[in-house]
Amino acid sequence: PPTYSKTFQGPPHGIQVERDKLNKYGRPLLGCTIKPKLGLSEKNYGRACYECLRGGLDFTKDDENVNSQPFMRWRDRFVFCAEAIYKAQAETGEIKGHYLNATAGTCEEMIKRAVFARELGVPIVMHDYLTGGFTANTTLAHYCRDNGLLLHIHRAMHAVIDRQKNHGMHFRVLA
């Protein structure tokens, strides 16, 4: 019912805010998820981001399972991705971006990652909404709203919930 749905904030903005942050209008935003998503070192992952951004993409993003593995720790990945953004921006004269996956095992760790991304000047973080959990997402969403970060929701595992013909829930309801 409308009275119930109005009790949820929902997304604070749409694509227009992202366009404004990237200063990109009148065309589709071009981006990609870095592949291979697992196996690269932090430095090589950052290099792949740079090459994509320098080659003409507006943004790159982490995939859902790019998190903090022994071969690629989140903090170092964040630093190398931020360096890639700034180097590509300096060379192209365009604003670039990367969606850093802040998903973590606890809300406290997730906020720590979002804080670090903000300190690096990266304007957007990503959360694995369903695997991370509803409360974790709300926690991160409130932090992002209060601190000027955009929040990208990755919908890993959504098909288990929203693609069932006889039961389930539409992703717009989840959002």
**What are 124-136's pLDDT values in tens digits?**
999 998 888 888 9
Domain layout of the chain by residue ranges: 17-174
- Residue located via tokens 């992952």: 45
pLDDT in tens, 33-88: 998 888 899 999 999 999 999 999 999 999 887 888 888 899 999 999 999 999 99
Q: What percent of the chain has pLDDT over 90?
A: 59
pLDDT of 117 strictly over 90: yes
User: What pTM was estimated for this model as a whole?
Assistant: 0.87
pLDDT of 175 strictly over 70: no
In this structure, is the dihedral angle defined by the CA atoms of residues 114, 79, 54 and 87, taken in order, positive or negative? positive
Residues labelled catalytic: 35, 154
Closest CA relative to residue 113, chosen from 146, 149, 159: 149
The CATH architecture that domain 17-174 belongs to is: Alpha-Beta Barrel (3.20)
pLDDT of 119 strictly over 90: yes
SS3 28: coil
